[in-house]
Structure 1
């Protein structure tokens, strides 16, 4: 969801059509040998992959695959290769910048451009997200990734590989696969493979092997932060409902748990079975059934969904029956799985007002003391068990900040929480909220105030950043359009701007802490350019020492004491023809 500040800035910024801003257009048009890139594309997209664990902020560069129906129209938007012949892209310093080729036609609400982004960073859990682009304005997306060893902090667990021996390509007796809880994850699951089951590949062919190896990741509920790592996200747009039709606008999931099951027979991935698996999942004792408005109880049903990991599409499969476990007495959900994917126990509602929704707006107003304001923060609506319901993400918050949900889920109790965004920790624990409202009934209450009393903030000043490109093989300046990123050494602060020397800019007036060091990063033309500066109340020159493996950003800063504004004018080298 774009913030209200973003919506205002974007509307003003992109009143004109965004055409070819990243191309090399020479200021000195008499240079006939200039490289003039006439590619036309729209909807610039900046994606950042972040580690939600506090220990590491920059993930290893990784291959990113673009999938879905509109994959062929997605291009690199950093001034580099604009070919649409390949769906493979590469991050740099955790960033990936994309755009849409205008051969798609301009995206609109009635004709969105939908595609998926998937990646498997080394040492991290695989991720997939679906993007739905509905206009030509910039889109900012942060994709949180988590190391398997840190899943327990987020209410999830990884079970060590389970091996079962086969006889004649099948099991001679039922096999039970048991998950192992870890960290804050307390629920368990049991997956039973019936004897005589044949293991099939994606095309339905039987696999001949002497053993199967299974890896299971289980996601629980009730931990603030689980929404940051939930496979596919909790507000997917590409969803097929119980009637077999697409749900317009997607849904908001209210999760009761998820299982990610990967199985190999020999060296071949198992995708289907001749007999369905029996799946039994323990449920959090504090879960509330949003359909009944009461505590979850035996005899209730929970919708079951599966995800196509190639397209990111969720599909309604069945309803799981809630029943007590005979030995432990804990409530469990039971269902059958005939193929492997992410299997998701979720109620759902439609933020756009048609699917499991209460048709009334709900407003939350922030009452923040000590003149505090900051970015990025989250204002999230959760149920009484802190399960995610809806919210604003990566927001610029301040005293009086207001968010209004036009529709709400059908739940009798909820609360708003205020928390730092996953990768912004500063002095705050990454997973914890800093303030919350009391529980209230969102169906009867129209507005609520969320109060936060932080310590007095340090002195800050405004930053305005200007950038041009310079041909490395001739003394000529060129116009560029590029995403510019700013971050502090401890990653407690991170900001972005889209800046073009055509005179257009987006989010180019940022407040930074005085006397604090910040880094600048620009990914353009296949090169990562980087420099640093201290937000000082005096003039300075950017360092001329080249950081190994990067391009140099050179320039200077001028401070205006009257407006408390530091203006940085800079340039970086671009190869021109």
Structure 2
């Protein structure tokens, strides 16, 4: 690996060069046997995306992923070396913003990260940044077509264009509805440039997402919180979707991606008998119309296309059917525009039985839209939640997209055991600013406050680097990630006492890691294969804090 430090250190090197000139006449090298140590804090708004498998039973993280950056702020987004080599490191993507930007609530910076990989359904995550200083981390669930999330199902087939054919996604115990895609006889397929693909068959993959399981809803590509949705009249709007079902359709003919057809294909999506029509407040029934939307997984863009008509079959099951002239991911959804008068974040006032510190990473919140009839629809997730009594720092961000036609409600859970801890009353996202919540929390474990001092050592130069970087800690016993952002090598975090963690950091397309257990005795960080993170820990009884001196070595610093 080559560690790129010229962007950070050019001013320092100019100074060093000047000193060499001054001492040259005396034939003295003032830096002989001296190692320079330099800091790297010059970029803004660090963001880390962690791509995770949407199936809760998965034992491996997604891999082999590729990303692209789109959206109005795309030219301001850099990788964590200050370049534009957006490389997913395992299942992690660290990003920063250009050092000259200054995002705020009034002037946010928005961009979309699209991600794809062999064997996964392509998806995207839209990021809205409102602070130059805050470090943000997001989880992006991905659907592995071999082992999809509970409540989804996959069908693949080679379909005849000559005679026409139907592909059916089967029902499952957790998704009793089916989906069908029908190609008419004599259909001609085209590529993204509109050129005819001379083929008699088309390889087809259909992934159907149901509406009754949390995994399917959380894995919904693009999420329900939507930016710049294009309406049929050509206008755009921010807001939120309430889904009636979703199908991700991919087709390939003669090795080329199919994007359109000479004859529209028919899409039929089964509708859950439990689904409520938010327009009527009643269960969806025969004759209802559900708006249809296309989703571009490369840009994260949604577009209103038309309507699906709900019919009832002889078996009494409901199906929403529509025609599609082009290929994309298709969604049955009701869309509601955002509050026009709300440009701030919400916070929560916690009342709980927890008086001492509890790590917010051990808890999370699920946010729901609540209709006038009281029906709840999943909206988004709060990735961590501070459950300590009196806390007022939990925030619901980007709430300006929440639709004013609905109230919101937040449920809080523990990550270990997924135990329900409490919920808010339903509240208006347009007028509320601080919402009370009462929680009943099992006794938290013992925690230790940890201060980290991180150094990168260059083996080919007399140079030490104090990196500005994300540091991750993974608890393999409960599958919980905790993280901090180290600025010029310095960071702090609170973790469980006596628990072994995998200790990760990332730079320039590489990850480095080791194993460490934090306790009130000194310990060593065990490097992965002897080439990862090394270091020591020590405990100060006076301050009740653990100090960590950690480093890793790179062989080629540019």
The partner residue of 2:303 within 287, 301, 315 is: 315
Which runs of 5 or more residues in structure 1 are unaligned?
Answer: 1-19
Residues 340 and 43 of structure 1: CA distance in aligned 2, closer, same or farther (over 3 Å): same
The answer as to whether partners of 1:48 and 1:94 remain within 8 angstroms in 2 is yes
The partner residue of 1:547 within 528, 544, 558 is: 528
The answer as to whether partners of 2:289 and 2:308 remain within 8 angstroms in 1 is yes
Distance apart, 1:223 and its partner CA: 1.5
Other-structure match for 1:62 = 65
Q: CA RMSD in A?
A: 3.9
The answer as to whether partners of 1:366 and 1:451 remain within 8 angstroms in 2 is yes
Cα deviation digits, residues 466-508 of structure 1 (max 9, x gap):
2233332345433331211122233533211111238xx6xx4
Q: SS state of the match for residue 548, structure 1? A: helix
Counterpart-to-counterpart distance in 2, 1:536 and 1:266:
59
Other-structure match for 1:204 = 194
Q: SS state of the match for residue 397, structure 1? A: coil
Cα deviation digits, residues 345-380 of structure 1 (max 9, x gap):
1122344447xx9x9999865554455833333322
Q: Does 1:133 align with 2:125?
A: no
Cα deviation digits, residues 78-102 of structure 1 (max 9, x gap):
x4xx444xxx532224222112335
The answer as to whether partners of 1:362 and 1:408 remain within 8 angstroms in 2 is no
The answer as to whether partners of 2:40 and 2:467 remain within 8 angstroms in 1 is no
Other-structure match for 2:23 = none
Other-structure match for 1:374 = 359
Other-structure match for 2:234 = 244
Counterpart-to-counterpart distance in 2, 1:445 and 1:41:
35
Q: Does 1:565 align with 2:548?
A: no
Other-structure match for 2:49 = 47
The partner residue of 2:154 within 150, 158, 165 is: 158
Other-structure match for 1:10 = none
Q: SS state of the match for residue 237, structure 1? A: strand
Distance apart, 1:252 and its partner CA: 1.7
Q: Does 1:293 align with 2:284?
A: no
Residues 121 and 166 of structure 1: CA distance in aligned 2, closer, same or farther (over 3 Å): closer
- Aligned pairs for 1:336-347 (under 5 A) are 336-347=323-334
Cα deviation digits, residues 523-553 of structure 1 (max 9, x gap):
134443323321111233444xx42284343
TM-score between both structures, scaled by the size of structure 1: 0.78
Distance apart, 1:388 and its partner CA: 0.8
The partner residue of 1:469 within 456, 459, 465 is: 456
The answer as to whether partners of 1:389 and 1:409 remain within 8 angstroms in 2 is no
Counterpart-to-counterpart distance in 2, 1:499 and 1:463:
12
Other-structure match for 2:518 = 535
Other-structure match for 2:487 = 500
The partner residue of 1:488 within 475, 487, 497 is: 475
| Matched residues, number | 524
Cα deviation digits, residues 296-347 of structure 1 (max 9, x gap):
33343322110123221111111223x3323122333232211110111112
Cα deviation digits, residues 22-72 of structure 1 (max 9, x gap):
658869965769798999643222221223434425433533333445544
Distance apart, 1:260 and its partner CA: 0.9
Distance apart, 1:190 and its partner CA: 2.6
Distance apart, 1:436 and its partner CA: 5.3
Which runs of 5 or more residues in structure 2 are unaligned?
Answer: 1-5, 21-30
